[in-house]
């Protein structure tokens, strides 16, 4: 019987993600910035297509200080993978979506007073303090308070009692092409920060540097940098003096080979006609996987350390290559991004050939392409977030040391115990009585002893509870969580 590869599936097309190269790139970044400067790693868009959870777990293991995502949903996935680092949502959210910021301890970007006021009221109602980062537009023209209005804005937000301005940031618009404009942005931002300091407003995290900033503008480093692309070993511009190793390779295998006559049209529209009698192979990958259709008739591939060019149009699921009389057989490995013994194809090259940027090449790789991690990441780690997603159960704490019916929740539950997230501190050895409120079922009452307890962040506590009796087996079937 043929052994199915449990990671790749039945179609031999995959992306290899080298986590050691990610660590290497982070080390190169750290060499560029002062020792005290913090690193906020941009892991939005599924970590630029590399896989949010495995990438973030490695970055956290390497000690990055902060993670940045584009949406609350991405932040929740990180929390469900039990990543406890601070998380900033770079994009804006609507007022009606504030609740999960408290549930999951997520830091929002703020640039309107209206949003800040609602956040302030909701934080107050929960006895919490909401940390925020204020976004300043120094010339990007996207979200952010215009720099000339930013000081007054910060003063207003400063007056809100339940909000702590933890950070202020701006984004560089043209750091790869326009030095003068970038310097102007940095001057405006520096001016704002100085003005705040002069008025006694100290904001601990000041950040502006994207990858270009990290590499080429020391004055953009401030107290934290915010790289994305270079973490993944890709260059935002040519001629940069930083040594990086690409993290992602894209591979497939020859699935078919046949001989065709001179003058045969290949693929849709016959944009390639064989110039002589030849062999044409088919590869099981296409634009349905995010391989750009613009690489029709120009995309490079490597097979057995020899270079070939795609013949005809890229189809949704397949690509053809005229391999002439070269030794290429069904089953041979094909590199679309990555290195063979003496050659390499980079995402930057594919971007240039297809008229886009390397960001779009890696972000565009579809969910149909399995990501294989080296060194291997336990499947359970990679899928942690799914295992726990539906386990976020509301819990009511009953008559515990004088707390009347306190609401909290658990996302980690097993027959022996559970983890509680509460807004009040618990202490080891405390006895707790609980009512778990599963949806559409009557509440389950149980009791147990607090084994460990810690503070997660301002106003949010975490505790492990060992249950006296195993009466939750029905509720936690399939969950692996402990306490
Ligand atoms: C994506 C993003 C970054 C990272 O940019 P790179 O060019 O990938 O380093 C930094 N800041 C903001 C606001 C972003 O949206």
Is residue 228 in contact with ligand 1, taking CB distance under 6 Å? yes
**286: Cβ contacts below 8 Å, ≥ 6 apart:** 314, 315, 316, 317, 318, 319
Q: Which residues pair with 111 in a beta bridge?
A: none
State mean pLDDT over 299-314.
98
Spacing, Cα 91 to ligand 1 middle (Å): 11
Catalytic machinery residues: 44, 268
Confidence band for 231, pLDDT divided at 50, 70 and 90: very high
Is residue 171 in contact with ligand 1, taking CB distance under 6 Å? yes
**Atom of ligand 1 minimally distant from the CA of 42:** 4
State mean pLDDT over 86-105.
96
Spacing, Cα 67 to ligand 1 middle (Å): 12
Residue pair 308/252 in contact by the 8 Å Cβ criterion:
no
Q: Which of 364, 310, 359, 317 is nearest to 336 (CA)?
A: 310
Spacing, Cα 229 to ligand 1 middle (Å): 8
Of 228, 236, 362, the residue with max ligand 1 atoms within 8 A of its CB, to mutate for a pocket test, comes to: 228
Among protein residues, the one with the nearest Cα to ligand 1's atom 6 is 228
How many CB atoms sit inside 10 A of residue 333's CB? 13
pLDDT on residue 117: 98
Is residue 210 in contact with ligand 1, taking CB distance under 6 Å? yes
From 5-9, 155-159, 347-351, the region with the lowest mean pLDDT:
5-9
- pLDDT per position as a tens digit, 345-358: 999 999 999 999 99
Spacing, Cα 150 to ligand 1 middle (Å): 21
Among protein residues, the one with the nearest Cα to ligand 1's atom 10 is 210
pTM higher than 0.85, yes or no?
no
pLDDT on residue 393: 72
pLDDT on residue 174: 98
Is residue 411 in contact with ligand 1, taking CB distance under 6 Å? no
Averaged confidence pLDDT in the chain: 90
Give yes or no for residue 476 having a pLDDT over 60: no
Confidence band for 399, pLDDT divided at 50, 70 and 90: low
Give yes or no for residue 233 having a pLDDT over 50: yes
Give yes or no for residue 119 having a pLDDT over 60: yes
Give yes or no for residue 467 having a pLDDT over 90: no
Confidence band for 477, pLDDT divided at 50, 70 and 90: very low
Is residue 144 in contact with ligand 1, taking CB distance under 6 Å? no
Is residue 12 in contact with ligand 1, taking CB distance under 6 Å? no
Give, in degrees to the nearest 5, the angle at Cα 348 between 346 and 354. 110
Give yes or no for residue 232 having a pLDDT over 50: yes
Among protein residues, the one with the nearest Cα to ligand 1's atom 15 is 90
Per-residue exposure over 337-361, b if at least 16 CB sit within 10 Å of its own CB, e if not: bbebeeebbbbbebbebbeebbbbb
pLDDT on residue 6: 56
Confidence band for 112, pLDDT divided at 50, 70 and 90: very high
Tokens of 197: 């300091």
pLDDT on residue 168: 98
pLDDT on residue 426: 85
pLDDT on residue 463: 86
> Cα separation of 126 and 420, whole Å?
17
Among protein residues, the one with the nearest Cα to ligand 1's atom 3 is 210
pLDDT on residue 439: 56
Q: Which domains does the chain have, with CATH numbers?
A: 33-232 (3.20.20.10), 248-373 (2.40.37.10), 379-475 (2.40.10.220)
Spacing, Cα 26 to ligand 1 middle (Å): 15
Is residue 236 in contact with ligand 1, taking CB distance under 6 Å? yes
Spacing, Cα 210 to ligand 1 middle (Å): 5
Spacing, Cα 366 to ligand 1 middle (Å): 21
Spacing, Cα 38 to ligand 1 middle (Å): 15
Is residue 213 in contact with ligand 1, taking CB distance under 6 Å? no
Query: Among the residues of 303-419, which ranges form H helices?
Result: 347-354, 358-364, 379-382, 384-389
**Atom of ligand 1 minimally distant from the CA of 214:** 9
**Atom of ligand 1 minimally distant from the CA of 169:** 13
Per-residue exposure over 170-195, b if at least 16 CB sit within 10 Å of its own CB, e if not: bbbbebbeeeeebeebbebbbebbee
Among protein residues, the one with the nearest Cα to ligand 1's atom 11 is 210
Of 70, 90, 205, the residue with max ligand 1 atoms within 8 A of its CB, to mutate for a pocket test, comes to: 90
- pLDDT per position as a tens digit, 411-424: 677 777 888 888 78
Is residue 226 in contact with ligand 1, taking CB distance under 6 Å? yes
Secondary structure tally for the chain: helices H, strands E: 13, 27
């Amino acid at each position: 019987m043929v052994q199915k590869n449990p990671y790749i599936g039945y179609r031999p097309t995959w992306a290899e993600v080298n986590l050691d190269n990610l660590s290497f790139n982070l080390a190169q970044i750290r060499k560029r910035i002062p020792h005290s400067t913090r690193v906020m790693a941009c892991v939005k868009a599924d970590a630029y297509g590399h896989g949010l959870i495995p990438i973030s777990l490695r970055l956290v293991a390497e000690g990055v200080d902060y993670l940045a995502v584009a949406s609350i949903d991405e932040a929740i996935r990180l929390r469900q993978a039990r990543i406890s680092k601070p998380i900033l949502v770079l994009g804006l959210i609507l007022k009606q979506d504030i609740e999960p910021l408290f549930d999951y301890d997520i830091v929002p970007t703020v640039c309107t007073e209206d949003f800040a006021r609602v956040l302030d009221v909701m934080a107050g109602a929960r006895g919490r303090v909401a940390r925020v980062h204020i976004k300043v537009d120094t010339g990007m023209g996207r979200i952010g308070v215009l720099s000339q209005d930013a000081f007054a804005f910060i003063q207003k937000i400063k007056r809100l009692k339940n909000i702590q301005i933890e950070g202020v940031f701006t984004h560089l618009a043209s750091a790869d092409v326009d030095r003068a404009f970038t310097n102007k942005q940095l001057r405006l931002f520096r001016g704002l920060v100085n003005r705040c300091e002069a008025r006694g407003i100290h904001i601990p995290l000041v950040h502006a540097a994207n990858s270009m900033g990290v590499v080429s503008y020391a004055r953009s480093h401030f107290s934290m940098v915010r790289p994305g692309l270079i973490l993944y070993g890709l260059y935002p511009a040519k001629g940069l003096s930083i040594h990086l190793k690409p993290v992602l390779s894209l591979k497939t295998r020859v699935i078919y080979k046949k001989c065709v006559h001179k003058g045969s049209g290949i693929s849709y529209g016959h944009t390639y006609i064989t110039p002589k009698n030849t062999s044409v192979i088919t590869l099981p990958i296409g634009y349905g996987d995010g391989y750009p259709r613009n690489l029709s008739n120009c995309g490079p591939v490597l097979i057995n350390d020899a270079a070939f060019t795609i013949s005809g149009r890229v189809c949704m699921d397949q690509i053809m290559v005229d391999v002439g009389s070269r030794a290429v057989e069904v089953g041979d490995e094909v590199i679309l991004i990555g290195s063979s013994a003496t050659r390499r194809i980079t995402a930057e090259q594919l971007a240039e050939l297809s008229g886009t940027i390397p960001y779009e090449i890696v972000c565009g790789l579809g969910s149909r392409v399995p990501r294989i991690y080296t060194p291997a990441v336990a499947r359970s780690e990679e899928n942690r977030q799914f295992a726990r997603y539906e386990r976020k159960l509301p819990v009511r704490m009953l008559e515990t040391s004088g707390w009347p019916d306190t609401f909290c929740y658990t996302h980690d539950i097993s027959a022996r115990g559970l983890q509680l997230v509460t807004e009040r501190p618990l202490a080891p050895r405390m006895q707790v009585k609980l009512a778990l409120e599963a949806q559409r079922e009557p509440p389950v009452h149980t009791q147990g002893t607090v084994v460990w307890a810690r503070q997660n962040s301002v106003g949010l506590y975490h505790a492990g509870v060992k249950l006296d009796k195993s009466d939750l087996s029905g509720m936690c079937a399939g969950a692996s969580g402990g306490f």
